[in-house]
Amino acid sequence: MSRQSIFLGTVANDGTGTDLRTGGDYINDNFAELYSLRDTIYDLNTFVISDENDFYAHESQILIERIDDKALLLVMYRSDKVSEDEAELTGHILLKVYELTTKTFLKSLDLFYPGLTAGVTMSVDSKVWLGRMYVSGTSLICYANNGHTLYTRTIDISSSDASAWTAGNISIAQMTMKNADGDPTLSNVTSANIQIHLENVLSDTNADYNDNVVFFRSLDKMVINGATWIATLEAYGVGAKSIVVTSTDSGASWTLGNLVNYTTVSRTNQMEMSLAYNANKSVLYAIARTGSGIVYLSSADDGATWSTATAITGGMATKPVMINYYKDDGALDIVVAFNRTSEITENNYRTTLYVYTTQNMATMTEIAKIISHNYAHYPSLCHFSRSLYLSYTKGMKFNTDGDAVTDHNRNTIVVTRIY
């Protein structure tokens, strides 16, 4: 709505001004619009993480960790300074570390890229797509795919002096999964081994399981129930399948379980999944991207079985994210972020990012909205010290090739504090 002005008349009391009732209505309308925008962030107060010469910067994840007396902001994202395309052989997975309050830059680590040698050599002919991380004890455990293989390396973060951090050697990630005989076996996380696991779990052979790219996806905030950590491993190929993985030793080892909402009859696929619990941890929720939009599912047995997916009205088919956090009264709650229909007239793409709180996924309360004229998507959330932080992908530079997507380049990672 444009601003509605009250006409005062040509001279005082000449009867030509706006009548009192209509003027009051204008005032109410103007204030109503202001109040509706009070929690909206128009992409102005963001802190830029990516390098100025990034042609492509995408798939960020943020963590905030207090070490000794320092609160450190950790941001991982995929950077490409050579190409604007989403998946080129020149992409690198970077980790950048900042002092949270002052935003002072402390360290940058180049963790994964095609052809990198650090103990083992990653394939020069396979792409890296996204990186993920979590803290286990005094270790930051990092993951990235390289083609059809998942790799890992660890950073000792016992010292609050992040400038001294160094990354250990790379190794192929291993998880317990079913082997060709159907027995649980510690195996390399490769598409071939996951295919064997899926064929055993589903008692079925199908091309849908072949040649998957492996992502360790839902690590924005680890889902923990007692001694059990729960996450999802994404296998992306013919379709995108999410496999529940669990750890009972604080993330030191993982075991593959069942697929989320996938049967040999429906062969339903979903990607870019996040997990969170309800208040008493009796229900585990999953939110995911499908080909047509955003859906959520629920599980009453820690991810062993799942309900039928329910669509979230208005959600665009882009990456959603949700995490658990504890409110001031100690109750567990959920915060969710995903794209809705663009509110930028000249760009109907991924410009409008909503942030909500919820307890049951069916009812959501809006707490913030970010609008960018180019991009505001692929969010990552982190709740720390009663504050909520969000990172997302946007564009700063423009090209002129006439393409509706790449004309709004995804070359910038930003972080903002919601409250």
Q: Are residues 28 and 129 in the same domain?
A: no
For the record, the structure tokens of 198 come out as 């899926």
Quote the domain boundaries for residue 353.
39-417
- Domain check: are 48 and 121 in the same one? yes
pLDDT above 90 as % of the chain: 68
**Interval 149-162 mean pLDDT:** 97
Per the model's pLDDT, the better-predicted residue between 237 and 233 turns out to be: 233
Shared-domain flag, residues 149 and 10: no
Whether the per-residue pLDDT at 336 is higher than 80: the answer is yes
93 and 7 share a domain?
A: no
Question: Which tokens belong to 109?
Answer: 């680590």
pLDDT of 237: 82
The pair of structure tokens assigned to 414 is 């930003």
What does the pLDDT look like over 94-120, one tens digit per residue?
Answer: 999 999 999 999 999 999 999 999 999
Confidence check: pLDDT of 146 > 60: yes
Q: In this structure, are residues 111 and 132 in contact, taking their beta carbons and an 8 Å threshold? A: no
Find the mean pLDDT for residues 83-90: 86
Percent of the chain with pLDDT over 70: 93
Q: Please say if the pLDDT value at position 398 is more than 70.
A: no
Q: How many CB atoms lie within 10 A of CB 12?
A: 7
Q: Are residues 259 and 374 in the same domain?
A: yes
Mean pLDDT value of segment 117-138: 95
Chain position carrying tokens 């696991």: 197
Q: Can you give the pLDDT at residue 85?
A: 81
pLDDT in tens, 255-310: 999 999 888 998 888 889 999 999 999 999 999 998 889 999 999 999 999 999 99
pLDDT for residue 403 is more than 50: yes
- pLDDT tens figures, 181-198: 999 999 999 999 999 999
Q: Cβ of 328: how many Cβ atoms within 10 Å?
A: 6
Q: Looking at the structure, do residues 85 and 191 belong to the same domain, yes or no?
A: yes
Higher pLDDT, 36 or 398: 398
Query: Which of 112, 98, 120, 174 minimizes the C-alpha distance to 142?
Result: 112
Give residue 38's pLDDT: 44
137-159: average pLDDT: 96
Span 208-225, average pLDDT: 87
Residue 90: Cβ within 10 Å count = 17
CB 291 within 8 A of CB 270: no
Q: Using an 8 Å Cβ cutoff, are 377 and 57 in contact?
A: no
Domain match, 23 and 69 both? no
Q: Indicate whether 87 pLDDT > 90.
A: no
Helix (H) / strand (E) containing 194 = helix 191-202
Torsion of CA 52, 123, 59, 322, to 10 degrees: -150
Averaged over 232-240, what is the pLDDT? 87
Q: Which of 111-125, 216-230, 344-358 has the highest mean pLDDT?
A: 111-125
Residue owning tokens 């994840």? 61
Alpha-carbon distances of 93 from 26, 69, 135, 370, rounded to whole Å? 52, 28, 17, 26
Q: Look at residue 113 in the predicted model and tell me its pLDDT.
A: 97
Residues 385, 305, single domain; the answer is yes
Long-range (24+ apart) CB contacts under 8 A made by 384-389 are: 384/64, 384/66, 384/71, 384/100, 385/64, 385/66, 385/71, 386/328, 387/417, 387/418, 387/419, 388/325, 388/335, 388/355, 388/417, 388/418, 388/419, 389/62, 389/64, 389/73, 389/415, 389/416, 389/417, 389/418
Higher pLDDT: 326 or 403? It is 326
Tokens of 134: 């979590």
Residues 260 and 128 in one domain: yes
CATH number of the domain residue 138 falls in? 2.120.10.10
**Does one domain contain both 240 and 331?**
yes
Distance CA 373, CA 11 (A): 43
Q: What band does 25 get if pLDDT is binned at 50, 70 and 90?
A: confident
- In this model, does residue 32 exceed pLDDT 70? no
The rounded distance, in Å, linking the Cα atoms of 259 and 185 is 18
* Residue 352 and residue 214 share a domain: yes
pLDDT band at 17 (very low <50, low <70, confident <90, very high): confident
Q: How many domains does the chain have?
A: 2
Q: What is the pLDDT of residue 35?
A: 47
If pLDDT is split at 50, 70 and 90, which confidence band does 397 have? low
52 — pLDDT class (breaks 50, 70, 90): confident
**What predicted TM-score, i.e. pTM, was given to this entire model?**
0.89
Mean per-residue pLDDT over the chain, rounded: 90
Q: Which pLDDT band holds residue 33 (cuts at 50, 70, 90)?
A: low
Same domain, 25 and 172: no
Strand partners, 84: none
pLDDT band with cut points at 50, 70 and 90 for residue 37: very low
